[in-house]
Amino acid sequence: MGPLPSEKPIGHGNRGTMESLDTRPWSPRAGDRIGIDLDNTLADHDHLFVEVAREWGLLPSHSGPLAKSQLRPLIRHRPQGEERWIALQGEVYGRRMTSARLMPGAASFLDRCRRQGLAPWIISHKTHYAVLASEPLDLREAAMAWMAQQGFFADPGFAIPRERVLFADDRRQKLELIARVGCACFIDDLEELLIDPVFPTKVRRFLLHPAPTPLPVGPFQACRHWQEIEHALFHTSRPPSS
Ligand SMILES: [Mg+2]
C-alpha cells in the first residue's frame, strides 16, 4: 500500500454523531474524495462466475444468467462447496479478470467526477494472491491491469492516479482506509460493509444493489444501478424507476 494523505476533515455532510442516515440533499464539492469499491461495484464479474462454474461442471451448461449472490449458495451447498467457491473466485478475479466488464453506467459516473473536479479513490478488499490456485495468481496485479485496460489511469480516460487505488487485506482494514482517506461518501455493493458498526459515521453511504431482489434498507442510500447513484449525487435527470 502506498503512502496515504493525512486525515482529511470533512467540511460538510453528516455532522451528527448519531448513526442515523442523513437524508438532507447533498452533493459533493470539487476536491471531495469519492470512495468506490472495485469488485461487483465497478467491475462486473457475474457472467464470468457463471461461465467458469459451467466449465467446471458446477452448473448445468444450459443454466441462464445468475448474479454472484445467487450462484454462491448453489456452489457452497455442494460437496467441498466452500473450497470450490474459493477456487472459483480465484479464477474469476485472477486469470479471467481481463474479461470483466465495467458495470453499466460507471463510465458516465467517473467521467462526471472528472469534469466536476472530484477525486475518486478505489478502495478494495482483495487478498494479494489466490488461495487455492495451482500457481500463484497475483489478484491485485490482475485488478490493476484490468483498470488500466478500461482507461482508469489514462488521460484521456478517467485520469485517476494509480496511488488512489488501495487494497485492503480484510474488511477492518478497508474501513480504516475509508476513514483515513477522508472519503465524503463511499459506494459499495456489500451491505455488510456499509452497516459495519465501525463504518465511519461521517461518510455518506451508497449501496449498489443490481440483483433483482428487494432493495435493502439501512444507514445507506440503496440504488439499483449507477445511473441512480449519479442522480443521487449530482441531481441529474431521474433514471427510469426500478
Ligand atoms: Mg464488492
User: What's the CA gap between 137 and 126, in Å, rounded?
Assistant: 12
Nearest to 133 by CA among 79, 97, 167, 103: 97
Alpha-carbon torsion angle 42, 43, 45, 47, nearest 10: 80
The model's pLDDT over 140-190, given as tens digits with 9 standing for 90+, comes to 999 999 999 999 999 999 999 999 999 999 999 999 999 999 999 999 999
26 in any annotated domain: no
Strands 221-223 and 204-208: parallel
Cα 25 to middle of ligand 1, angstroms = 26
Q: Is the same domain home to 132 and 201?
A: yes
Claim to verify: residue 206 and residue 127 sit in the same structural domain: yes
In this model, does residue 68 exceed pLDDT 60? yes
Mind listing the pLDDT tens digit for each residue in 83-100? Answer: 999 999 999 999 999 999
CA-based radius of gyration for the chain: 18
Distance from the alpha carbon of residue 52 to the mean position of ligand 1, in angstroms: 19
Axis-axis angle for helices 81-93, 46-55 (nearest 10) = 120
Give the mean pLDDT of 50-58: 93
In a domain, 13, yes or no: no
Q: CA-to-CA distance for 142 and 226, rounded, in angstroms? A: 24
State the Cα–Cα distance between residues 178 and 162, nearest whole angstrom. Answer: 17
Confidence of residue 211 (pLDDT cuts 50, 70, 90): confident
CA of 209 to the centre of ligand 1 (A): 11
More confident residue, 52 or 23: 52
Instruction: Please give the distance, rounded to the nearest whole angstrom, from the Cα atom of residue 178 to the centre of ligand 1.
Output: 14
Residues 38, 51, single domain; the answer is no
pLDDT of residue 15: 37
Q: What is the whole-number distance in angstroms between the Cα of residue 123 and the centre of ligand 1?
A: 10
- Asked if 39 and 112 sit in the same domain, the reply is yes
Dist. CA 208 → ligand 1 center (Å): 9
In a domain, 136, yes or no: yes
For residue 188, count other CB atoms closer than 10 A to its CB: 26
- The secondary structure of residue 205, as a DSSP letter, is E
Is 12 a member of any domain?
no
Q: Which grid coordinates belong to 158?
A: 478517467
Q: What CATH number should be reported for the domain holding residue 186?
A: 3.40.50.1000
Instruction: Tell me whether residue 135 is exposed, middle or buried, using C-beta atoms within 10 angstroms of its C-beta: 0 to 12, 13 to 18, 19 or more.
Output: exposed
Domain span holding position 117: 33-45+101-234
**152 CA to centre of ligand 1 in angstroms:** 17
Cell of 43: 467491475
Q: What share of the chain is helix, strand, coil (3-state, %, to 5)?
A: 35, 15, 50
Tell me how many domains the chain contains.
2
Q: 123 and 53: one domain?
A: no
User: How far is the centre of ligand 1, averaged over its atoms, from the C-alpha of 11 (Å)?
Assistant: 27
Give me the mean pLDDT over the 96-114 stretch.
97
Q: What is the CA(7)–ligand 1 centre distance, in A?
A: 24
> What's the chain's average pLDDT?
89
To the question of pTM greater than 0.75 for the whole model, the response is yes
Distance in angstroms (rounded) separating the CA atoms of residues 60 and 70: 15
If you measure from the C-alpha of residue 147 to the centroid of ligand 1, how many angstroms do you get, rounded to a whole number? 15
d(CA 238, CA 235) in angstroms, rounded, equals 8
Does residue 76 share a domain with residue 121? no
* Centroid of ligand 1 to alpha carbon of 43 (angstroms): 8
How far away, in angstroms, is 53 Cα from ligand 1 center?
19
How far is ligand 1, taken at its centre, from the CA of residue 126, in Å? Answer: 9
What grid cell was written down for 237?
435527470
For residue 77, the CA-to-ligand 1 centroid distance in Å is 22
* Beta strand extents in 33-137 (DSSP E only): 33-36, 43-44, 101-102, 119-125
CA of 156 to the centre of ligand 1 (A): 26
- Tell me: cis bond preceding 212? Omega within 30 of 0 counts: no
Q: Is a pLDDT exceeding 70 seen at residue 7? A: no
**Same domain, residue pair 186 and 162:** yes
Do 105 and 224 belong together in one domain?
Answer: yes
Q: Quick check: is 149 in a domain?
A: yes
Cα 103 to ligand 1 centroid, rounded to whole Å? 12
